[in-house]
Amino acid sequence: MSRYAFLFSHPRRALAALATILAASGLTVASGADFTATSASPLNTFATGTLTISNSNAGAAVLSAGGMRPGDPAVSGTVDIANTGSLSGAFTLTRSAPQDSDGTNPLSARLHLVVRDCGAFSGATAPPCGAGAGTLVYDGTLAAMTDAQALGTFAGGEKHRFRFETTLDPAAGNEYQGDSSQTEFTWTAA
């Protein structure tokens, strides 16, 4: 007799055998034979960096020129600008609107201004910063400096020396005698 014929002729034995097989399968599945594992990374910390500027002449003029005559040699001044933060930043230089004592003959239109980036400090050593040294930032009249002047990206801790020079236009006539002009230079980092 074949197996199938035996199962059909003895249905109770076949059901008992089938129930035993199903019970054994259920025990195997329900026994939790799956493996699991977990791992945690606690105390994840996030912090921001800083972008701050140090100005060696903060609150003071970079240069002041009095008693100027048309064609006199340039008057110069320097300032050290540093990124004292931890992040790099794109630095720019702007000026406020010139305050001219004579609105008809504004002195700012006759003041020739040259601004140079003498370069980055090497540790505590300043770069050479004589006339013509470094990279030209601006060359024109004070009045014409209307846009922000890009100075490049300074890394955190990087410090540069800038040289400002001004002369009075040799063609400035008597109408400029006794005049004055004043402006504020602003350094920005973003």
Q: 98: domain CATH number?
A: 2.60.40
Q: How many domains does the chain have?
A: 1
Distance of alpha carbon 88 from alpha carbon 154, whole angstroms: 6
In a domain, 130, yes or no: yes
**Which pLDDT tens digit goes with each residue over 5-26?**
665 666 676 666 666 666 666 5
User: Which residue, chain included where needed, has tokens 């903060």?
Assistant: 58
Provide the 3-class DSSP secondary structure of residue 176.
helix
Distance of alpha carbon 154 from alpha carbon 136, whole angstroms: 17
Let me know if 150 is exposed, middle or buried by CB neighbors in 10 A (0-12, 13-18, 19+): exposed
**Which pLDDT tens digit goes with each residue over 48-91?**
999 999 999 998 999 999 999 999 999 999 999 999 999 999 99
Q: Which residues span the domain enclosing 70? A: 53-189
Distance of alpha carbon 127 from alpha carbon 119, whole angstroms: 6
